[in-house]
Amino acid sequence: MRSGREWRGRRRWDGVLAALPLLLALLLVCHAAVPNGPGRWGSLLETFLPWLGLGVPLVLCVALLRRSGVALCALLVPSAAWFAVFGGLAGPQGGSAHDLVAVQHNVSDVNADPRGTARQLAAAEGDLIALQELTPSLLPEFGAVLGASYPHHVSFGTVGLWSRYPLVDGRRIAIRPAGLGEDWDRGFRATARTPQGDVAVYVAHLPSLRLGPTGFGSARRDESAALLGAEIAAERLDRVILLGDLNGTVDDRGLAPLTSRLGVPESGLAFSWPERFPLARIDQVLARSATVSDVRTLPATGSDHLPVAARIRF
C-alpha cells in the first residue's frame, strides 16, 4: 500500500506530465502569441514549429513508464493540434493536374559540380528553374546544361531563372536592406509568357539568419521581406509566382509581408535545409491567383540545400 506521500508524489508527476502536452498544443495553435521582441524568439519557434510534434512520443514514453492515464489522455490534445496544423501538408500529395512545374534551388556558391547539379534539376522536367548563389563562375556552367531545354534565361546578380517559355521585361527589384553594399544583388522580376497567359515571376534570395546568445538574427531578412512584399503588392499582373531562398518558413511571421499576399503550398512538408538533415523548408514557391498544389524535395546536389519542385494550377 502506498503512503500518502507516495500518492501525492504520483499526483504531482501526473500533473506535470499532463501539463506538458497541453503546453505543446498551446504553442502549436497559438504560436503567434509568443512575443517577437528582442531576440525574435517567436520567429525561431515558428521556423521549427512542426518539430514540436516530437514532444508527443517523448511524453508518451514517460507516461507509459509511469503508467499515467491522465497524461495519456492529455496527449490527445497536442496530437489533434499537430494534425490540424500540419496534417494536410504531411498527408498524400495532390493529384497530377497542374499547369506548370517550378523548380527552386540555392545551388551554393561553392558547388563543386555545377553541371551535375544542372542535369539533376533538368531531370525534374520543370517549366521554370530558379537558382540562387549563382556566382559569375557558376553562371556559364549552368547555362551550358540548362540552355538546351530551357532556351529563355534571365539573371541579375547572384539569382537566375531558366524557362521553357519566353521571358520578357526582366528587371532588378529593390529588396536590399539597409547596411549592405551595392554588390548585394539578389532579386529580380520577369514576365513569363506561358500558354495560360502572362505570369509575373519573382526570384529572390533574402538575407541569411543568425542564431546566437542574443536570439534569432532575422532583422535584415525581415526588412528584405517587407521590401519584396511591397514590390509584389504593386505588381500589375494578376498572376504572380515567387521562387526563392527566403531563409524562412511560411509559418515564420517575418515572412508575413509575403505570405499575406501569396498562397502557400497545399501539401508537402519538403524540408530543404540543411541538406544532410533537413529541418525546415526555407526554399519557397508561393503564388497569387494560382494554387501551389504540392511541393516536394528533389535528390541532393552539390549544395547545402535540397532542391524543391512545386506543381502550380492556375
Whole-number Å distance between alpha carbons of 127 and 311: 10
Q: Are residues 191 and 73 in the same domain?
A: no
Asked whether the beta carbons of 129 and 164 are under 8 A apart, the reply is no
Distant-in-sequence contacts of 36-43, Cβ < 8 A, 24+ apart: 36/253, 38/214, 38/215, 39/214, 39/215, 39/216, 40/215, 40/216, 40/217, 40/218, 40/219, 40/254, 41/215, 41/216, 42/253, 43/216, 43/218, 43/248, 43/252, 43/253, 43/254
Q: Would the pLDDT of 220 be above 90? A: yes
Residue 219 lies in a domain: yes
Q: Report the amino acid identity of residue 56.
A: V
Task: Enter the pTM of the model.
Answer: 0.93
Q: Are residues 45 and 191 in the same domain?
A: no
Mean pLDDT of 247-268: 97
- pLDDT in the model for residue 119: 98
**For the chain, how big is the Rg over CA atoms in Å?**
22
- Domain, as residue range, for 274: 100-313
- pLDDT in the model for residue 163: 98
- Give the residue from 64, 90, 116 where a domain finishes: 90
- Give the residue from 68, 90, 112 where a domain finishes: 90
- pLDDT in the model for residue 10: 58
Asked whether the beta carbons of 225 and 250 are under 8 A apart, the reply is no
Higher pLDDT, 312 or 64: 312
- pLDDT in the model for residue 3: 56
- pLDDT in the model for residue 66: 80
Q: Are residues 184 and 64 in the same domain?
A: no
- pLDDT in the model for residue 14: 72
Residue 95 lies in a domain: no
Asked whether the beta carbons of 310 and 128 are under 8 A apart, the reply is no
Q: Would the pLDDT of 176 be above 90? A: yes
- pLDDT in the model for residue 17: 83
Q: Are residues 256 and 119 in the same domain?
A: yes
Find the range with the poorest average confidence among 82-91, 150-159, 226-235.
82-91
Q: Are residues 300 and 212 in the same domain?
A: yes
Q: Are residues 238 and 147 in the same domain?
A: yes
Whole-number Å distance between alpha carbons of 238 and 228: 16
- pLDDT in the model for residue 105: 98
Q: Are residues 217 and 160 in the same domain?
A: yes
- pLDDT in the model for residue 7: 52
Whole-number Å distance between alpha carbons of 52 and 22: 12
Residue 35 lies in a domain: yes
Q: Are residues 129 and 195 in the same domain?
A: yes
Residue 284 lies in a domain: yes
Q: Would the pLDDT of 183 be above 90? A: yes
**Burial readout 184-203 (b: 16 or more C-beta within 10 A, e: otherwise):** bbbbbbbbbebeeebbbbbb
Pairing of strands 187-194, 215-217: unpaired
Mean pLDDT of 237-253: 98
Find the range with the poorest average confidence among 61-75, 130-144, 250-264.
61-75
Q: Are residues 84 and 109 in the same domain?
A: no
E-strand spans in the chain?
A: 100-106, 128-132, 152-156, 159-163, 167-172, 187-194, 197-205, 210-212, 215-217, 240-245, 283-288, 291-297, 308-313
Residue 130 lies in a domain: yes
CA nearest neighbour of 159 among 243, 240, 239, 225? 243
Q: Would the pLDDT of 6 be above 60? A: no
Q: Are residues 51 and 177 in the same domain?
A: no
Q: Would the pLDDT of 146 be above 60? A: yes
- pLDDT in the model for residue 67: 83
Residue 47 lies in a domain: yes
Whole-number Å distance between alpha carbons of 176 and 314: 30
Residue 25 lies in a domain: yes
Total domains in the fold of the chain: 2
Find the range with the poorest average confidence among 163-177, 208-222, 236-250, 267-281.
208-222
Q: Are residues 35 and 166 in the same domain?
A: no
Percent of the chain at pLDDT > 70 equals 94
Could you report the per-residue pLDDT of 190-200, keeping only the tens digit for each?
A: 999 999 999 99
Q: Would the pLDDT of 1 be above 60? A: no
Q: Are residues 60 and 178 in the same domain?
A: no
- Give the residue from 70, 90, 110 where a domain finishes: 90
Mean pLDDT of 115-121: 98
Mean pLDDT of 48-71: 90
Q: How confident is the model at residue 159 (pLDDT cuts 50, 70, 90)?
A: very high
Residue 46 lies in a domain: yes
